[in-house]
Structure 1
Amino acid sequence: MQRIIKNGQLIDETWHLLPKDAAFDSLPNCDDIIVPLGLWVDHGPALKARDGGLGVWLDAGDEIEEIADQLDNFQVIALNFPAFTDGRHSSTAYLLRQRYGYKGEVRAIGDVLRDQLFAMQRCGFDAFALREDQDAESALQAFSEFSEVYQASSDQTLPLFRRRG
């Protein structure tokens, strides 16, 4: 069983991340699933009628605006990083928290490395499915490596100069 980092804790994964080519007919009714955006677009009403939890995942080229008015349908929004050098979804996480007020889980999936966790958390991510070669236990230290931040962000709304004095 895969382990993920959620809210600074290492936990067992309970959600099933479905591949892009998942067929609607083969979906379980009771499991907690994270579906690709295309499956949600094609079968949204039927997916909402399921008994299990529902999440959606977006690829790097997918825009959150496509489902911005439907965010209350999802317990989890997973944002896929196809390469660690592709940071487009950092902006998506920030938009989810700041512009759209999303309170559910925002999860980083794909090519997620330990070195990115602190910055990703600042953008609005609260869950991380690390790349398989990453040690999740030691990755927890990434959240405490910096004691202070200068810039305002999703997790600290005031910059340092506004907090001092």
Structure 2
Amino acid sequence: MTDIARIRLLTTVEHSLDAGQQVVSLANDEDPLTLKDRVGSIERIELHFPHFTDGRAYSQAYLLRRRLDFKGDLRATGDVLIDQLIQMERTGFSSAVLKEGVDPTDAERQFERFPAFYQSDVVNETPVLRRNTPES
């Protein structure tokens, strides 16, 4: 899935003003596959990080993008730290609500730190060593 643009960073105020018609909030202990029959009609799915040490939402995001082919906005909420943003993007999140007091400029700089990754991910399905390489 290569059509996901850079993750959109939101403040809590921007998030509260960003209402949608078809928004689903999925608790981090819920199975995302329960949405399979209606995933095409959902605009945004919000996945919650209750603590930065709880990474179950990463797995949910990956399943929603890869197995259910969810094309809408996949938003991270809760204890979102700037150190997690790159991994959020790589697992399929398209937006994230920054914790209160986090400077969006500091958060944006995280994406400049790593220009490429060896492993494939939701954003780039082809590993870096196989990109732009002639087929044998």
TM-score band w.r.t. shorter chain: 0.7 to 0.9
Separation (CA, whole Å) in 2 of partners of 1:96 and 1:136? 26
Select the structure with the greater relative contact order (CA < 8 A; seq sep ≥ 6).
2
Where structure 1 has 5 or more consecutive residues not aligned to the other structure, the ranges are 1-5, 16-31, 34-52
Q: Percent identity?
A: 37
Deviation, 1:8, is: 4.3
TM-score (norm 1): 0.69
> Which of the residues 107, 112, 131 maps onto 1:144?
112
Matching residue of 1:76? 44
Could you state the TM-score of these two structures normalised by the residue count of structure 2?
Answer: 0.83
Q: Deviations along 1:93-124, whole A, 9 cap, x unmatched?
A: 11111111111000000011000000110000
Contact 2:7 2:96 (C-alpha < 8 Å) held by counterparts: no
RMSD: 1.8
* Count of aligned residue pairs for this structure pair: 125
Structure 1 segments of 4+ aligned residues over 2 angstroms from their partners:
6-15
Relative to 1, partners in 2 of residues 1:155 and 1:104: Cα closer, same or farther, differing over 3 Å? Answer: same
Find the structure with the greater CA-based Rg.
1
Aligned to 2:54: 86
CA–CA separation in structure 1 for the residues paired with 2:81 and 2:69: 26
Q: 5+ unaligned residues in a row in structure 2: which ranges?
A: none
SS of the residue corresponding to residue 37 of structure 2 reads: helix
C-alpha distance in 2 between matches for 1:133 and 1:146: 24
With over 3 angstroms needed to count, the CA separation of the structure-2 counterparts of 1:89 and 1:141, relative to structure 1, is same
